[in-house]
Amino acid sequence: MALKIRLARAGSKKRPYYHIVVADIRAPRDGRFIEQLGSWNPMLPKDAERVKLNEERIQYWLGHGALPTDRVLRFLDQAGIAKRPERSNPKKAEPGKKAQERIAAARQAEEEAKAAAAEAAESAGEEAAS
């Protein structure tokens, strides 16, 4: 049985509150879970106690092969329970294909305009010399 430590949404509409639970990966997000391990209230300010964790039980489930989701792993990293590796995606900041095509077309048009202006200035200089 594959286990995940993940968030289960609770709270009312537009007032989210999450329980940190260990559940079978096949169970629905807000459905059946094995054990509740903590909670997260994103409505509280960041300096307040937003995340509550039962560290002993989390260690137990991690030892039994439960894998945390990315968001839960962030909480565990902040608490010093587990280490979250740094991620690097250098292509994320690059524009998409269409934007790159538009940029290339704009550069080409700019170069053509400069060439035409230089040619016009050169021909104007030759006319003045004659």
Residue type, 53: L
* Per-residue pLDDT tens digits for 14-23: 999 999 999 9
Instruction: Name the pTM for this structure.
Output: 0.67
Q: How many domains does the chain have?
A: 2
Distance between CA atoms of 77 and 25, rounded to whole angstroms? 22
Residue 35 sits in the same domain as residue 98: no
Residue-range definition of the domain harbouring residue 27: 3-79
Residue 85 lies in a domain: no
Residue 12 sits in the same domain as residue 57: yes
Residue 110 sits in the same domain as residue 74: no
* Per-residue pLDDT tens digits for 79-122: 888 888 888 888 888 888 999 999 999 999 999 999 888 888 88
Residue 54 lies in a domain: yes
Q: How far is CA 3 from the centre of its chain?
A: 23
Residue 23 lies in a domain: yes
